[in-house]
Structure 1
Amino acid sequence: MPDITLRRATADDSKRLTRLVRGSGAYRGDYAAMVDGYQVGAAYIEHHPVYVAVDGSDDRVLGFYALLVDEAELDLAFVADSAQGLGIGRLLMAHMIEQARAAGLTSVKVVAHPPAEEFYLRTGARRTGTVRASGRIHWDRPELRYDVA
């Protein structure tokens, strides 16, 4: 297990977070359109609470999440393919819940990538509905919620 440091992302992390999103194995095949050309921009990072998990020994990005406080929504959550199964996602979700609680939120909505639904359920979210396909997203997505109060 790597020595994990969890910290607030900075604008300098933009390129690394973008590479993690675009290179995610979970978004290959039919799901590739979801991340094609996606960018985690510096302005986005500076405006929203974005937290990154890095390997303390080499500063390699292991995963990150972005919480939209005004919308009470988890906008992004990714774990590097090479770090899957190490507990990084669970660590990030526990931290997100702490941050949401500290911001005064009572719950956090997640519109999940379909293959990630089980992960969110295992980390305490509950299924609340379905977001129907629209635009360039041609598949329904599970809607979940973390209760944080």
Structure 2
Amino acid sequence: MVRWGLAEDDGQALASASFGGTLAGAGVRNGYTVVLPNSGGQWSQTYDQPELAVEAVAASPDRARSEVQSLLQQIDSFAALLQARQNVPLVSRVTTSTASIAIDDTGVSTSTRIRGILGLAALGLLLSILGAVSFDRVLCRASSRADRRRGNHAV
């Protein structure tokens, strides 16, 4: 069974079935996956593609790139170790190569942050106005009730 793991801050990995999306799309902010792609259909699993998909997300693009490069080095070392333990001849050993490393910066842009702050300020202003108007109405009602009880009527 092929599974992937999300690295958590404490260094542990969570095992889970593949969900078919990206880590950033799943809301993961810090972690990685190494997946053997399944080319099977709904009712069968087929792992016939000689490739691994490596993905990492981190606080910065440089940190994500560093994580991917570290994972690729670990994969190379582990593949070499397994083949050496099995006494696979050098000419028959599996080799690895990197197709590409694509960095997608999905962080918050400056304009998005400014729009968020302006929206929050507008919401705060609206709530302040509504609160002041509501409080004023409560005070006016209480004042007019007190006047009616005393017999003072406004002319």
Q: TM-score, normalised by structure 2?
A: 0.31
**Structure with the higher helix share, 1 or 2:** 2
TM-score, normalisation: structure 1: 0.32
**Larger strand share, 1 or 2:** 1
